[in-house]
Amino acid sequence: MPLDKKTLLDAVKEAKAKSGQKKFSQTVELILDIKEIDMKSPEGRIQQVVELPHAKGKPNKIFVVASGELALKARRTQADKVIEKADLEVLAGKKKELRKLANNYDVFISEAPLMPLVGRIFGPALGPRGKLPVPVPPNADIASLIAKHRKTVVVKMRNQPVIQCPIGTENMKDEELVANIQTILRVLEGKLKRGLKNIKFAFIKTSMGEPAKIKA
């Protein structure tokens, strides 16, 4: 699987050309078909948070569970939602509300001492969506963590040898999308036993468009 800029640039341009005219900026996805892998091994259960060089057109929405000074700093940093322990306890058992929050926010950050409570209350809603909270110490530099997670994606493979993840939106520059693709491929190169040789096929696709194959 090539990492070179020109090959990836050609695929991005083709995917945009095949996207069709829509009244909104479509999400651009990277789709990888993985070969020669044991899905029952740890290698077959990839779940990796990757920081992209360019935000995905629309930055991730950040939900923070924290207390005291950390919660105050998170609010100052303009996290999209900050709740404290008492607010979290109120959510216990409210499945519909928890599912709505799990769908509305992209990244969940929790102060480490609150993780057991967050896991018990939020776990059933976040787990299936691959949005397990990121634990941070009470003295964490929450501003830099929020800035980082505005640009992250979760690269995961479950049950099927396929990886599908957003890399941006079609109104982003082609070069920015390519840089995001290269970052994800470099991470997978270190995760897969045979590196990029484990990738059988790779495609770039807009949410409503036809896929464009990345030519080997």
Structural domain boundaries in the chain = 5-57+151-213, 62-149
User: CB of 151 within 8 A of CB of 52?
Assistant: yes
Low-confidence ranges of the chain (pLDDT < 50): none
How many other C-beta atoms lie within 10 A of the C-beta of residue 97?
12
Q: pLDDT at position 1, please?
A: 65
Output the pLDDT for position 44: 82
Instruction: Assess contact for 163 and 188: CB atoms under 8 A.
Output: yes
Would you state the pLDDT for residue 57? 80
**What topology does CATH give the domain 62-149?**
Rossmann fold (3.40.50)
- Assess if CATH 3.30.190.20 describes domain 5-57+151-213: yes
pLDDT of residue 39: 86
Q: What is the DSSP string of 80-128?
A: SEEE-HHHHHHTTT-HHHHHHHHHH-SEEEEEGGGHHHHHHHHHHHHGG
Rounded to 5°, the CA angle 201-205-211 comes to 60
